[in-house]
Amino acid sequence: MHEERHNHSHHHHDHEVGHDGEKLLKRIIHWKRHNEDHLESYREWAKKAESMGYGEVKELLNEICYKAEEQNGLFDRIIKIIESKL
C-alpha cells in the first residue's frame, strides 16, 4: 500500500512539474519578446544618435543590440530545453 501511495504522489509531482514547466516556458517566451521589443528601439535610437552626431553612443547602442541578440539565443536554448521536458 505504501508503494501505491508513493506512485500516486510521484505521478502528481510529475504533473506539477509539467505545469510549472509550462508557466516557466510562458515567462521565458514573454521575456524574449520583451527583449525583441527593446532591440527594435535600441536600433532605432542608434540611428538617431548617429544622425545627431553621437557616433560613440550609436556604437554603444549597437553593442547593446549584439548582447541582447545573444540573450535571445540563450532564451531559444532555454525554450528548447523546457519544451523537451514537457
Over residues 11-62, the pLDDT tens digits come to: 444 455 579 999 999 999 999 999 999 999 999 999 999 999 999 999 999 9
pLDDT of residue 8: 46
514547466: which residue's cell?
21
Domain assignment of residue 77, yes or no: yes
Domain assignment of residue 76, yes or no: yes
Domain assignment of residue 30, yes or no: no
CB 25 within 8 A of CB 75: no
* Domain count of the fold of the chain: 1
What are the cell numbers at 84?
523537451
Domain assignment of residue 60, yes or no: yes
Q: Helix, strand, or coil here: 68? A: helix
- Domain range spanning residue 74? 41-86
